[in-house]
Structure 1
């Protein structure tokens, strides 16, 4: 085993070509369309996209570089329970498609946070948008930095060159091509990611003498034990934590997170939007399965000599890059394909974030302040914001290198913020009596609780009996005592999701083994239920809803549930136009061609009101 293997010239060629193709797709979309003169073209691709590319984009955004590297390490250390997320993806896709898609399409919104002003008030919208911007900028910086450091330590790939290159490429094609460029580059990047996994699995099967050997090693190593019905909420991955907690966590991302919602509301019809989520569900099944099989392959190869235990790598996130350089370095260009796969995940997530950040800034801050600004000028503003947010994300990636263990806590915060926000949306959608006071009290209380438990869990990690790491052996290692182990650089993003930190303390407080040991998958349900229940109670105590002219279109309808017979655009225009929304609200989100208000229909509606 040659631990000093580094990138060859062909590996660099493959990696650079991948970045160049992504950039070329963005430039092509800008030149071919020649229509990026309006903000809706730039931010929503004219709402004319079909289900398949949007679905692949949704899946690619899920597969960040951290996920590409971290999921196989999860299978290597903890085994198959992560596959239970297939149930979570199914539940999440159904809820998002059958409840949130009809609501957002009915309102024709661009920013998901427009709904908060329609339902509650302007302040609630600003707070929701600000929370999203903060978490997204922070997370995007980490998505750029984390894989770069892991790959740098193992492959020798230049850290700062890759950081700058990744950010610059994303910024350029987001700026010139808008959402359409983001989605089509995501399609290309999705293919590269799956190809990277397949290359490792195929080569690993050859090294091990067949798939049967990989399966047997994983079985006897306890990696295939998937079912654990223990209801203990402190255990990291059980059937209940994954299916209950994981479903809510992913719903909070796909149902209300602008980065995901912006994709499926760019579809040409409600039917395409729903289908994109269901196709994405299948894509998630395939992607996670390949990632887990990659982890089982890695375990089979290292079942008798764990690189982590003997110091060949210093953190779990370095395991997969180490494996690639170990078994694929003799094939010029193939390690470059894997690195391209990891960075395709990074490019997809970063480009999605930049485009979504631009959208919420335009819709939630600029348009309300400057209601008469022209579409052409908004398009230029959108271009400038893409450059601005690209620079901010690159800067955040550079800052991440100085943040040490704080970065681990910051990564967990990304998930914690989504839970209280989901509770706020559910409160508004299902409870007509809820008001803005109750919504904000519930939101802030839920956020405080999730930050408390999440940060506490980073300071006092759960004990191994709750995280259940599996046995790793060094019985087959041939030690070279003249070769020093890799410097133990604790990778700060190796959070509770991917690794078990050693329990250090004689100073652990009692709360550390109860409240702080709560499974990370329950952080989102804690925030959601707190925001929902407390928001409802406070709303009732403060007199309930004050608005008298609020539209029924802002609430979930019975017809929204499991309605697969989506109407055509003409039917939606004539029958589901949100005419009952007050004038202030009618002006929001009306750039959706599925819900354009015909002048004669609006005039007829006003005449009926006058007669009454």
Structure 2
């Protein structure tokens, strides 16, 4: 394909034997880790061991896995292209990482750890009802399958661009490898494979940045070239929600997005629960934070170097050397590293390592929630623990195949980073909102949760897919150029020569110029920044959920089990005076929450939450119900069951 030609040599560059060896080793080592733990734990086939690593995992592999789970090839490919096509505004995302990690480790992790639920959706049944749990589970399954398809397609696209290797052949090969080692090794294989993959990612990014800086005359020179052409731009503080990347959209929208990933996503919560204590899980989060900032910063710096390298000869406008912007980075890598055997293989290995880590974590999460949230409550209530483990492995194999099939759809949606953020937020926003509604608003009932979730999902689908159907695009800050390209094409080969300009001077205006964007006066919401999808979806769900709860009968906070409501201000401001904290608890008595430490050393994950009274003392419920809840999800606090004819919120929930 034309993308295999360097614009500087006119020669076709492909993988050498060392490149193929290094790439194959990445896949082989990942598969080997899964096989190792499958053999090692062959006599210990329990769901606790398979899904949670025996709840005795070391901080290091958990931290490394938390780091790379959502730093897939989408981030590694998309972030440099973001710097190239637009500006450095996206770099503010590092601030969002800090706030997301603080909230995830201080608020969400202790909450779920103390509940000791294998699936986060068990909480939604305890707090609301079975239908809410089922709806959330289906949304998560759809969202995860969609995201895995993007993650699988992106590195395969890169491999196709730099080697000519068949695109769908690589999709199938990588999908099979990741499915195999995840199904065989469970959580332990996922964590240790992710640790290895994190090292490969670091190595690949460093190789590209160092060599890219060398060929552009140093990183400072590359920075100056990009700055003179309006790519270095950090000061867009516009409050306009349609601004694609402003300080507020990146920091606030990004904070919501990444808090949802680290706070309530099954894949991440499951890893936190694999630690032996809450404190070690929190340490794992904070250990992963510097690495998260480092990897994204390396991607941003590579984007700046890449722009300086192609400042006067944009590959997409130059004889269509590449067909999509997602091929820019692999094309750049072959230009600067293609003459060094092995280094392109390191880069492609880093891309696939990012995707392997994401897909393996997602498959492991699906293997945990489908048996527990769908099959056990509705189909197989008496299924044994061993059967759950075997069923989980079968599910991993099944959904590995689904991800491969859906990768075809991902190839039709344009830029992988923005498309993945948009689709993921459309589905994950309502899901995140359900947990926010349940954890922080004790008045909400099951009717409110269902009504809010369906409304939010419909509203965000209208915005997201409407924007895609109407091809809403964002103007670039400044145009790209090809005046530095000198080329000729013959019928037999392409011969290209150009001179790399490393000077910082630029003829023309250095002011920010904007290309006029198309107008969509009929539906302004289509132009909403994709980074605001998550907070918008959450806000719609909470507002509608509280309104529906109000008209159907609000829950009484005094009758709530305090373990199901998160004391947000107690978590964030533990030194605040009691006279201020008391009204902020909204009438929920958190006195009994001190008993949560009992669960830290529990050998078995409780399927029920034992009812407690207002003083935190366990009471025997009048009648036993599944998961320790009444039919509608109301935790029995020692009160008599509410009759179906009794007016109020519990009547609505019971009939639900």
* TM-score, normalising length: structure 1: 0.86
Choose from 242, 253, 267 the match for 2:261: 253
Structure with the higher fraction of residues in helix conformation = 1
- Tell me the equivalent position of 1:439: 449
1:527 to 529, 537, 543: 537
Q: Could you say what secondary structure the match of 1:148 adopts?
A: helix
SS at match of 2:15: coil
CA distance in 1, matches of 2:599, 2:130: 32
Deviation larger for 124-133 or 209-218: 209-218
- Where 2:448 maps in the other structure, the secondary structure is helix
2:356 corresponds in structure 1 to 347
The correspondence of residues 20-31 of structure 1 with structure 2, limited to 5 A, is 20-31=28-39
- Once the two structures are TM-superposed, the CA of residue 377 in structure 1 deviates from its matched residue by 2.0
Number of the residue aligned with 1:264: 272
Equivalent in the alignment of 2:284: 276
1:414 paired to 2:424 = yes
Per the TM alignment, residue 460 of structure 1 is displaced from its structure 2 partner at its CA by 2.7
Q: Distance in 2 between matches of 1:193 and 1:161?
A: 23
Given that 1:461 and 1:503 are in contact with CA atoms closer than 8 Å, whether structure 2 keeps it comes out as no
CA contact (8 A) 1:113 1:128 kept: yes
Is the 8 Å Cα contact of residues 237 and 519 (structure 1) preserved in structure 2? yes
- Rounded to whole Å, the distance in 1 between the matches of 2:322 and 2:129 is 51
Instruction: State yes or no: 1:429 paired with 2:429.
Output: no
The aligned runs of 1:211-360 (5 Å cut-off) are 211-310=219-318, 311-360=320-369
Matched, 1:49 2:80: no
Tell me which residue corresponds to 1:538. 548
**Deviation of the 1:35 alpha carbon:** 5.1
Determine the structure 2 residue equivalent to 1:209. 217
Q: Is the 8 A contact 1:461 1:517 kept in 2?
A: no
Q: Deviations over 1:56-82 (max 9, x none)?
A: 111211111122111111111112111
User: Contact conserved, 2:151 with 2:355, CA < 8 A, in 1?
Assistant: yes
Contact 2:433 2:539 in 1 (8 A): yes
Q: Does 1:518 align with 2:528?
A: yes
Deviations 1:428-457 (A, max 9, x none): 111211101111111111111111111122
Shift of 1:26: 1.3
Larger radius of gyration: 2
1:203 Cα deviation from its structure 2 partner: 0.9
Matched residue SS, 1:223: coil
Q: Give the stretch that moved more between structures: 351-360 or 160-169.
A: 160-169
Per-residue CA shift, 1:89-131, capped at 9, x if unaligned?
1111111112111210111011111111000000000000001
Is the 2:74–2:151 contact (alpha carbons within 8 Å) kept by the matching residues of 1? yes
How many pairs align?
568
1:108 to 98, 102, 116: 116
Q: In the alignment, which of 161, 177, 182 is matched to residue 185 of structure 2?
A: 177
> Among 423, 434, 459, which residue is 2:469 paired with?
459
Deviation, 1:366, is 2.7
Structure 1 pair 572–327 and aligned structure 2 pair: CA distance change class (3 A): closer
Following superposition, the deviation at residue 550 of structure 1 comes to 4.2
Segments of structure 2 that go 5 or more residues without pairing to the other structure are 1-7, 496-514, 576-593, 613-620, 630-636, 639-656
CA distance, structure 2, for counterparts of residue 485 and residue 430 of structure 1: 63
Deviation, 1:418, is 1.2
Show the counterpart of 2:157. Answer: 149
* Cα deviations by residue, 1:129-152 (Å, 9 ceiling, x for unpaired): 001001111221222123312431
Rounded Cα–Cα distance in structure 2 between residues aligned with 1:123 and 1:568: 27
